Amino acid sequence: MDNYNASLDTLFHALADPTRRAVVQRLVKGPAPVKELAAPYDMALPSFMKHISVLEEAGLIASKKQGRVRTCTFNPDKLAAAEKWFDDQRTIWASRFDNLDTLLTTLQGETDET
Amino acid sequence: MDNYNASLDTLFHALADPTRRAVVQRLVKGPAPVKELAAPYDMALPSFMKHISVLEEAGLIASKKQGRVRTCTFNPDKLAAAEKWFDDQRTIWASRFDNLDTLLTTLQGETDET
């Protein structure tokens, strides 16, 4: 499996969880300490840290410890990879209709000529 | 968990696998029978059908049996839901920089006035 595919696997897996999506949605607004990110959830810290690790492994966020505070930041590059995949599918899907339009126009022209 | 979030869970989970993404990539070009979709994979048919089921449950594809042939078609609506999530994050991320630009311009203005 190539790197692009492996990267999309971990990326989509990371986004297939409501807690992890909520963390991303918070971090696009700006960096935040883990303690603040974890606050809304009724979850033990080790469980929450597993979500943070999955997001880090997918490259969606980065974290840095300064003293006793670990701060997380959003990394926009990986979202771009996922968006590209969606764009590619949409382009192919749309071109299918363009081809159908061309075919219909051609057929219409042929009908008009007869 | 609301319907939108549950829908994104199953959608991103469905896309977190290279075989399932490849099936979607094939079906955006047009409908195809399961036999044709399965052909490139060294995989038992029941295993392949599990992938088809995951994609159907996520609403990314639909399948219909006519006689002995089951044909799959792509459903573009669900991709739109995922794209919307990415668009929302990008908008918030971009507005963050707009705000920063405004702040910098304001501070620059204040510096110029002094």
Query: B96 — contact with chain A (CB < 8 Å)?
Result: yes
Between B6 and A102, the more confident residue is B6
Please state the domain count of chain B.
1
Contact B92 A28 (CB under 8 A): yes
In angstroms, what separates the C-alpha of B69 from chain A's closest C-alpha?
Answer: 23
- Which residues of chain B make contact with A24, given a CB cutoff of 8 A? 89
Q: What pLDDT sits at residue B109?
A: 78
Task: Give, in order, the Cα–Cα distances in Å from A86 to each of A29, B3, B50, B64.
Answer: 23, 21, 23, 25
CATH number of the domain encompassing residue A60: 1.10.10.10
3-state secondary structure A70-86: EEEEECHHHHHHHHHHH
Query: A4 — contact with chain B (CB < 8 Å)?
Result: no
Between B3 and A88, the more confident residue is A88
Domain that holds residue A43: 2-113
Q: What are B20-39's pLDDT values in tens digits? A: 999 999 999 999 999 999 99
Task: Count how many residues are written for chain A.
Answer: 114
Would the pLDDT of B53 be above 70? Answer: yes
Would the pLDDT of A51 be above 80? Answer: yes
CB-nearest to A29 from B15, B29, B92 is: B92
| B23 within 8 A of B38, measured Cβ to Cβ | no
> Can you tell me the mean pLDDT for A23-52?
96
Would the pLDDT of B101 be above 60? Answer: yes
Distance CA B61, CA B29 (A): 13
- Which residues of chain A make contact with B83, given a CB cutoff of 8 A? 83, 86, 90
ipTM of the predicted assembly exceeds 0.90: no
Instruction: Report residue A102 as tokens.
Output: 């061309």
Sign of CA dihedral B14, B20, B22, B23: negative
